[in-house]
Amino acid sequence: VSLMGMQTLTLFGSPHPISQNAVVPRHAMSRSSETSFPTLTTISISFSQLQDKNADLSFKIEEGFGPNGLGILSVTDVPGYSSLRRNLLHLAPRLANLPKEVKEDLEDPHSRYNFGWSHGKEKLESGKPDILKGSFYANPILDTPTTEASLIQRYPSYCRSNIWPRNALPELEVAFKALGKLIFDIGLMLAYHCDQYVSKGMKIHKDEGLESILHRSRCHKGRLLYYFPSQQGYPSYCRSNIWPRNALPELEVAFKALGKLIFDIELMLSYHCDQYVSKGMKIHKDEGLESILHRSRCHKGRLLYYFPSQQGVPDGNSLSSWCGWHTDHGSLTGLTCSMFTRDGVEIACPDSAAGLYIRTRNNQIVKVVYGKDDIAYQIGETTEILSGGYLCATPHCVQAPKGEESSGIERSTFALFMQPDWDEKLNFPEEVHIHKELIPSNAALTFGEYSEMLLDKYYHQKQ
């Protein structure tokens, strides 16, 4: 695409109205004893089906991406995918544990940390820095999308060059590009069939289909994610007390006095508990409850205050313990299945309630699952706009594992964000429900302009 002559994408009205009462298919639904939300398996398309340009996949595209779908489907039986996924995800812990000075050299603040290493730069829904995960961003298709200085300055999140740890972890570049290129190629095949589906409801002009837009784009971005173990050491027990000695000095005295009394009584009670237990089993020296409690340094008092109850619905955001609720703003996001490890050894996820959750069109929350060797694809907001609502994006979040077995669990995953080129012009329809405050009165923005405003809104780095 010539930078002088920007492509214009004409958008059409929405398709048939989406039923507010639409529900997900019951046959795909199951319930876990660990969660009150249903678990759904993604609609899947085999690689061989996807390869066939004569195949009519409209039904599956509509089921997965259509107005009543979940905004996600998976591609199965992709040759070579399993080994490429494993090769890259096993590098995530090694990358995250590189020396601090090495990781600092991989940071790119000028791109808002959208190239290279990023840790603690994003914010959680609470506004606090997200230190639970580290990310590594790179364009797996082009190391240097452009050399034009004005574009690099205008769109730093897309136009700056990749940063690779070629000395500290040289194999990362090879593995990242190999997996990213494969997911990209599969994404283009999927985009072709999306165009076939959308073309049945609206006219797609030459070079304006999703496949063409993604094929010519230089803005694709891969993200290797590493979730740090939930507990490192024993901070819940080993850190020091914090007392409000200026604001409420009497609290410390009262807390310790009552706590010490209760502790002494507990030791007396534990002695008699040991006497009772010893009648049924032998208690070795220093292994009784009294001895264990007496030598422990982990005692903790908790002063509770329950605020007056307020009627209202529970906070749905409690699910988003690992990744907050969000909707991808690009076109198509390719996702690997997560890899869970403890001390470098791959394990199964210890909590069946952990994983990807999606909010459906009728505001229902469901857990979504797909195979370890499948590639999942989610629709982003830009595709929803470009398709006139025929393909729909959905909010989603990730819940972390809970329980004793989840201590020390690491999670690694990879996402490829496929999106239009920065100079693709987006002509928004009259009725837009996404980020309305960012759209100018003439309803025309390039993808680069739109993305920069979204990032400004998210990171609050520009005035």
The 10s digit of each residue's pLDDT in 298-328 is: 677 766 443 432 332 233 335 545 667 888 8
Structure tokens at 433: 């429900």
pLDDT digits (tens, 9 = 90+) for 246-260: 998 998 998 787 777
Output the CA angle 368-60-65, nearest 5 degrees.
60
Residue 142 in contact with residue 218, Cβ under 8 Å?
A: yes
* Three-class SS state of 44: strand
pLDDT at residue 180 greater than cutoff 80: yes
Question: 428 with 434: CB under 8 angstroms?
Answer: no
230 burial (CB, 10 Å; 0-12 / 13-18 / 19+) is: middle
Q: Which residues pair with residue 117 across a beta bridge?
A: 136
Phi-psi group of 460: left, alpha or beta (phi > 0 → left; psi -120 to 50 → alpha; rest → beta) = left
Res 67 pLDDT > 90: no
DSSP state of 68: T
Comparing 237 with 45, the larger pLDDT belongs to 45
Give pLDDT tens digits for 13-64.
334 333 333 334 433 444 443 557 889 999 999 999 999 999 999 999 999 9
CB 145 within 8 A of CB 126: no
Mean pLDDT, to the nearest integer, of 412-424? 78
Query: Which of helix, strand or coil describes residue 177?
Result: helix
How many whole angstroms separate alpha carbon 172 and alpha carbon 182? Answer: 16
* Eight-class DSSP state of 217: -
> Which domains does the chain possess?
39-232+319-461 (2.60.120.330)
The C-alpha atoms of residue 446 and residue 427 are separated, in whole angstroms, by 8
